[in-house]
A and B are shown apart, each in its own frame.
Chain A
Amino acid sequence: MAAILTDDVLEQARHGDSGALTAIYQNLAGPVHGYLAAKGLEDPEAAAQEVFLTVFARLADVTGGVAGLRKFTFSISHARMVDATRARARAPRIVEYEPAVDPRVETSPQDELLAQLESGHLAQALDSLVSDQRECVMLRIVAGMTIDETADIMGKSAGSIKQLQRRGLLSLKKTLEEVDGDD
């Protein structure tokens, strides 16, 4: 069980306390990992660790207490995701890996998540969303960001985030109805 994240823990982490750093990591690494995995990054575990290395190296820049730390962490995650998406667009296309035929593979949380997504056609429904709608839904639902935090991370107004969230959910509902109706 991870320690509860408080402003005092944040202050201790700023002074390099390894216990406080571990507490931050244990509290936020799961949502960051899930967020990056749901976004389809090839190696979300490695990306999540890079995010926290960046966050810990720049703890002095964080303002706003624990809420500011969460927003800052997901801002870094969002930037990493954007960089990874651009890098993936520039990289040559790689043949899809087939984990079913690889005997070395054992189930990981990412696999469980993806299997859960695929079983309910959720991944297909998420792909049907516009980029901003998908990002808004991810930050609001997976990362648990508030409207204002999501607006700050995406560089939009709170009203725009509400519209994106509403339209994203309606589009998600429509796509799920279509996908499930085909079965």
Chain B
Amino acid sequence: MTEPEQNSFDLDALLEDAGAADDARLRGAVESLHAAGSLPAPRPTGALADLLDGRKTAAEAASAAGIATDADAEADNVLGFDPAKPRKRRGGGAVTGGMTVVALAAAAGLAGVAAADVAPRAAAPVVSVTVPPGELEHEPERPNIDATKAPEPEPERVVKRTPAPTPTPEPVQQPAPAPEQVPVQEPVKKPDKQEKVLNPGQPASTMPKTVKMGSKSNGRGKKHGRTPGR
């Protein structure tokens, strides 16, 4: 024989834990809530009444009330009922979820590409033309083409052309006389100026000390001579 189950509710301890032991308003509210647990049991009806009267077994009563008594089905909703019993783990959830995410991302990408390829029909302007009455009374002229008759091949056309008049040869013109050669003026040596030999006993150097240019031979103006070797 075990001890009867004691109600674990301790109002004072509860309020002390919350730091509101002196709050009369909260105490009254908690007492009202606790009183809700003291409601009388509802009068059993239907399958439960049959069970409590002994007319049905528990399984029959539950079945009659349409309540599933499958332990596995109910255990998923009952938290912490039997800690020793490992809860069922449904494998593959993460893998399935990951594959779903990848598939959705791929579908979104394809849809985006497809949407980008489609011409923006919705954005095309709608042109509405109102034709006044009588405007289309005259039918437009259309060529009379017999569609049942095959078109005849056109004969080869010969284009006759009048020969173009032969141009009269013009007298050969004499070639223009070649321009006269401009005689290169030789630098005129002044007779009064003699070349001065600096080193009479030595062979002449290839680099003269002084180069004198003709002042008007090339028409570019006077160039100053330079003296190399300085």
Chain A residue, CB-CB nearest to B31:
A141
A149 to B32, CA, bound (A): 22
**Residue in B33, B65, B78 whose CB lies within 8 Å of A142:** B33
Q: Which 10 A-B pairs rank lowest in CB-CB distance, beginning with the nearest?
A: A29-B41, A152-B80, A79-B77, A34-B36, A169-B18, A155-B79, A18-B54, A45-B42, A57-B62, A56-B58
**Given the known A-B contacts A37-B39, A38-B33, A165-B14, are A6 and B2 also in contact in the complex, defined by CB atoms under 8 Å?**
yes
The contact sample of 28 A-B pairs, CB cut-off 8 A, is A5-B4, A6-B1, A29-B41, A31-B37, A33-B39, A38-B36, A48-B42, A49-B45, A49-B46, A50-B67, A53-B65, A58-B74, A66-B2, A75-B79, A79-B77, A79-B78, A116-B35, A117-B32, A122-B33, A138-B33, A141-B30, A144-B8, A145-B8, A153-B80, A154-B80, A162-B17, A169-B20, A176-B29
Q: Which of A57, A120, A153 touches B79 (beta carbons < 8 Å)?
A: A153
Are B79 and A173 in contact, with the CB atoms below 8 A? no
**Residues of B contacting A63 with CB < 8 Å?**
82
Chain B neighbourhood of A66, CB < 8 A: 2, 4-5
Cα A116 to Cα B34 with chains together (Å)? 12
Check B78–A144 contact: CB distance below 8 A: no
B2 closest partner in A (C-beta): A7
**B36:A54 contact, CB within 8 angstroms:** no
Which residues of B sit under 8 angstroms from A53, Cβ to Cβ?
A: 47-48, 51, 58, 61-62, 65, 67
* Nearest CB in chain B: distance from A100 CB, A: 22
Q: Which of B37, B51, B59 is in CB contact (< 8 Å) with A30? A: B37
Give Cα A4–Cα B25 distance, bound, in whole angstroms: 34
Q: Which residues of A contact B45 (CB under 8 A)?
A: 49
A33 CA to B37 CA in the complex, in Å? 8
- Please report which residues of chain A, range 93-141, place their CB below 8 angstroms from some CB of chain B when the two chains form the complex: 109-110, 113, 116-117, 120, 122, 125, 137-138, 140-141
B69 touches A58 (CB 8 A): yes
What is the CB-to-nearest-CB distance from B88 to chain A, in angstroms, rounded to a whole number? Answer: 15
**Is the CB of B111 closer than 8 A to any CB of chain A?**
no
Residue A85 at the chain B interface, CB threshold 8 Å:
no
Prevailing SS type, chain B contact patch:
loop
Interface status of B99 (Cβ within 8 A of chain A): no
Kindly state whether residue B128 has any CB partner on chain A within 8 Å.
no
Whole-angstrom distance between the alpha carbons of A37 and B33 in the complex?
A: 11
Q: Which residues of A contact B65 (CB under 8 A)?
A: 50, 53
Report the separation of the CA atoms of residues A29 and B29 in the bound assembly, to the nearest whole angstrom: 22
The reply on B26 being an interface residue by CB < 8 A is yes
Residues of A with Cβ closer than 8 Å to B? 2, 4-8, 16, 18, 21-22, 25-26, 29-31, 33-35, 37-38, 45, 48-50, 52-54, 56-59, 61, 63, 65-67, 70-72, 75-76, 78-79, 82-83, 109-110, 113, 116-117, 120, 122, 125, 137-138, 140-146, 149, 151-155, 162, 165-166, 169-170, 172-173, 176-177, 180
Known: A4-B4, A54-B74, A173-B20. 10 other contacts (CB 8 A): A33-B39, A50-B65, A53-B58, A53-B61, A56-B58, A57-B62, A141-B33, A144-B9, A145-B8, A169-B14
Contacts of A38 in B (CB 8 A): 33, 36
Contact B47–A22 (Cβ < 8 Å):
no
Q: What's the nearest-Cβ distance from chain B to residue A75, in Å?
A: 4
Let me know if B109 is at the binding interface, CB within 8 A. no
Contact of B19 with A141 in the complex, beta carbons under 8 Å: no
Contacts of A116 in B (CB 8 A): 32, 35-36
A152→B14 CA distance, assembly (Å): 19
Residues of chain B lying within 8 A (CB to CB) of residue A180: 25
Q: How far is the CA of A173 from the CA of B5 in the complex (A)?
A: 30
B window 136-152: CB within 8 A of A? none
Q: How far is the CB of A113 from chain B (nearest CB, A)?
A: 5
Tell me whether A49 and B48 are in contact in the complex, defined as CB-CB below 8 angstroms, given that A116-B35, A144-B37 are known contacts.
yes
